[in-house]
C-alpha cells in the first residue's frame, strides 16, 4: 500500500467530495425541472425530488446518492490492496463516513445537505454487504407494515450496530461506522421523530401536499 498518510487523506477528502455531489439538484436542473430546494420540504434527496412529479428523476437521485457512497468505499478498497485486513477495514470505514458527512454537509451547497438515508445504505452495502442487506431488509419490512419512510430508516439505523455486533461479528471499524452514521441519521431526523411521536408523520403513498421550503437551512433524505 502507498504511504498510509496519503491514503488516509485521499479516502477522506475524496470520499467527502463524492458525498458532497448534490445529485438531486444536478439531475433536476439538467432535466429542466427546477431546483428541489424550491419545492416541497426544500430537501435535495429523492423523496423531495419525487414531489416534482418526476419519478424518473427521483430514481436517478436515489441511485446517485447511494452510488456515490459505494464508489467511495470501492475506491478505498482499491487503494488498500495488499494492506492488512484491519487497515483495509479502517480505510473503508473512513471513506464511507467521509462520503456520508459530505452528503449531510456538502461543500458545494454551503454545507446545507440532506438526511443521508440513500447514502447510508449505499456505503453500508458496499462496505459490508450482508450487514447492509440486513439493514435494507429492515427498512423494507418497517416500510411495508407501517408505511412511514422515516420510521423505517430510523429503525434500520438503530438496529444496524446490533446486527454488526451480534449477528455478523463485524470488524470494529465497521461497527464504529454503523454507530457514527446511525447517530447522525437520528440527528438529521429530529423533526421526523417528533412528528412520528405525535402521529403526524406522512405515510408512504399518502399524497402529502407540498410544503413551503423552510427558512432554516434545508436538508434532504
Phi, psi values for residue 2, rounded to 5°:
-60, 180
**pLDDT confidence of residue 218:** 41
CA–CA separation, 44 vs 113, rounded Å?
Answer: 7
Closest CA to 208 of 34, 48, 38: 48
Element (H, E) at 169: none
**pLDDT confidence of residue 211:** 45
Q: With beta carbons less than 8 A apart as the criterion, state whether 7 and 80 touch.
A: yes
pLDDT in tens, the chain (221 residues): 567 888 899 999 999 999 999 999 999 999 999 999 998 878 898 988 988 889 999 999 999 999 999 999 999 999 998 889 999 999 999 999 999 999 999 999 999 999 999 999 999 999 999 999 999 999 999 999 999 999 999 999 999 999 999 999 999 999 999 999 999 999 999 999 999 999 999 887 765 444 444 444 444 44
**pLDDT confidence of residue 204:** 79
DSSP state, residue 210 = P
Q: With beta carbons less than 8 A apart as the criterion, state whether 192 and 201 touch.
A: yes
Q: With beta carbons less than 8 A apart as the criterion, state whether 72 and 11 touch.
A: yes
Q: Whole-prediction pTM value?
A: 0.89
Q: Treating both helix axes as pointing N-terminal to C-terminal, what angle do 55-79 and 23-30 enclose, rounded to 10 degrees?
A: 130
Cα 200 to Cα 175, 178, 185, 191, 208: the distances in Å are: 33, 28, 19, 11, 11
Amino acid at each position: 500500500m502507498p504511504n498510509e498518510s496519503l491514503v488516509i487523506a485521499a479516502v477522506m477528502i475524496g470520499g467527502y467530495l463524492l458525498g458532497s455531489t448534490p445529485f438531486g439538484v444536478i439531475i433536476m436542473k439538467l432535466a429542466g425541472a427546477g431546483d428541489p430546494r424550491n419545492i416541497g420540504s426544500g430537501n435535495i434527496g429523492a423523496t423531495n425530488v419525487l414531489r416534482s412529479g418526476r419519478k424518473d428523476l427521483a430514481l436517478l437521485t436515489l441511485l446517485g446518492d447511494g452510488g456515490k457512497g459505494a464508489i467511495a468505499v470501492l475506491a478505498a478498497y482499491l487503494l488498500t490492496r495488499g494492506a492488512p485486513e484491519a487497515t483495509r477495514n479502517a480505510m473503508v470505514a473512513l471513506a464511507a463516513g467521509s462520503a456520508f458527512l459530505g452528503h449531510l454537509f456538502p461543500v458545494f451547497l454551503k454545507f446545507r445537505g440532506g438526511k443521508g438515508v440513500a447514502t447510508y445504505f449505499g456505503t453500508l452495502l458496499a462496505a459490508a454487504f450482508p450487514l447492509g442487506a440486513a439493514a435494507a431488509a429492515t427498512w423494507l419490512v418497517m416500510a411495508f407494515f407501517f408505511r412511514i419512510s422515516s420510521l423505517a430508516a430510523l429503525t434500520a439505523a438503530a438496529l444496524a450496530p446490533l446486527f454488526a455486533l451480534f449477528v455478523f461479528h463485524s470488524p470494529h471499524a465497521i461497527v464504529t461506522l454503523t454507530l457514527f452514521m446511525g447517530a447522525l441519521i437520528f440527528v438529521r431526523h429530529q423533526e421526523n421523530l417528533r412528528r412520528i411521536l405525535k402521529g403526524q408523520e406522512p405515510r408512504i403513498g399518502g399524497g402529502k401536499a407540498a410544503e413551503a421550503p423552510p427558512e432554516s437551512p434545508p436538508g434532504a433524505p
